[in-house]
A and B are shown apart, each in its own frame.
Chain A
């Protein structure tokens, strides 16, 4: 078999296929193709705006957070099946039908926070800091210049680059290359390593000069598009890849199960439908509380997870319930039986879920 080394894109095999030469795991972005949507399963959701001095956020497709500060316009987000060739899903954000002129401290930022354990090899904050390249596909209703930036966990180091949407409502591939930061503190543990931000709108407090490392919480430039100033504006993204080096290599396609496993380090669901129905129960000798340990089938999480319930649940002989002993490998369901005898809690419909989050 013959192969040809293509210095730009990888290796061309004798069947004509081009394969990336970088090792598996080159893409530091998880769910860059927006394939996994554990929370919403493709349903549309709206993040209600906030008053001018408050922040709110929501997780959209897995690992992708929408952050608002002082954005009064509600924003709708959804995993959709409109995507460029080679992809099946994208993430779509839609401004509501009114317009807003943002204040100096306001921000609308889709972002992914990459764990420090996954960015440690880039050596940022040292003289050996590696250059990175971010590539992605974008489709927007408003043409013009948009920022893409990276920052550290303390929000005191930032590099803002830009990309241009040339044609409205058309998929376009963009690439930016960012030199590694030789200064600042970049965490290399299970906390936030690199914050990758695709700011759609922000006030002047976040503006800086493009294409240079700066101190402070920056994510935009003064001449970029103001998304919320455009009624019903839309912005879609997919195929996001962040890799070491100066070249954007072909997107690293992972199988669904591989991608899901990466996402489950940060978010897992118990229940949520017949196919994944669950029941926890036993026999109580009195009304004294009883614990049931639930191992996490999605594997170890980044940190001990926060647990929330969704749905009405079906219970028998239970007066109250809560969750305790939360750790990276499992959680415990604590129930107080109404009396002696059999008790159970059943998650048997699609709206019955236990959600576990250890997002950054």
Chain B
């Protein structure tokens, strides 16, 4: 499993892409009420770093 930041065409970072070994993906909003985003923040707090976003 890995996280990758997503950048919009206007350069905004709204969403995190979570990829799994089976090829499936989740698109997670940067919303602190979202439980997947809460898990992402915990993952970052454990000294993990997401992949940088591709350039738009």
Q: How far is the CA of A325 from the CA of B30 in the complex (A)?
A: 10
Whether the Cβ atoms of B33 and A322 lie closer than 8 Å is no
Whether the Cβ atoms of B26 and A306 lie closer than 8 Å is yes
Whether the Cβ atoms of A289 and B26 lie closer than 8 Å is no
Whether the Cβ atoms of B34 and A325 lie closer than 8 Å is no
Q: Which of A25-33, A130-138, A221-229, A297-305 contacts B (4 or more CB under 8 A)?
A: A297-305
Whether the Cβ atoms of A304 and B27 lie closer than 8 Å is no
Whether the Cβ atoms of A325 and B28 lie closer than 8 Å is no
Closest to A354 in B: B27
Render A172-211 as a binary contact track against B, CB cut-off 8 A, 1 for contact. Answer: 0000000000000000001100000000000000000000
Whether the Cβ atoms of A326 and B14 lie closer than 8 Å is yes
Render A59-80 as a binary contact track against B, CB cut-off 8 A, 1 for contact. Answer: 0000000000000000000000
Whether the Cβ atoms of B6 and A360 lie closer than 8 Å is no
- Is B24 at the interface (CB under 8 A from chain A)? yes
Residue among B8, B25, B33, B56 making CB contact with A190, cutoff 8 Å? B33
Q: How far is the CA of A305 from the CA of B29 in the complex (A)?
A: 7
Known: A306-B28, A308-B24. A359 touches B35 (CB 8 A): yes
- Is A324 at the interface (CB under 8 A from chain B)? yes
Chain A, interface size category, equals: 20 to 34
- Is A307 at the interface (CB under 8 A from chain B)? yes
Chain B residues closer than 8 Å to A191, beta-carbon distance:
33
- Is A287 at the interface (CB under 8 A from chain B)? no
Known: A190-B33, A303-B33, A303-B34. A324 touches B14 (CB 8 A): yes
Whether the Cβ atoms of B15 and A302 lie closer than 8 Å is no
Please report A residues at the B interface, Cβ cutoff 8 Å: 190-191, 288-289, 291, 302-309, 322-327, 334, 357-360
16 A–B contacts, CB within 8 A, in A order: A291-B9, A303-B34, A304-B34, A305-B29, A308-B24, A308-B25, A308-B27, A322-B6, A322-B15, A322-B25, A322-B27, A324-B15, A324-B27, A325-B14, A325-B15, A327-B31
Please report B residues at the A interface, Cβ cutoff 8 Å: 6, 8-9, 14-15, 17, 24-31, 33-37, 56
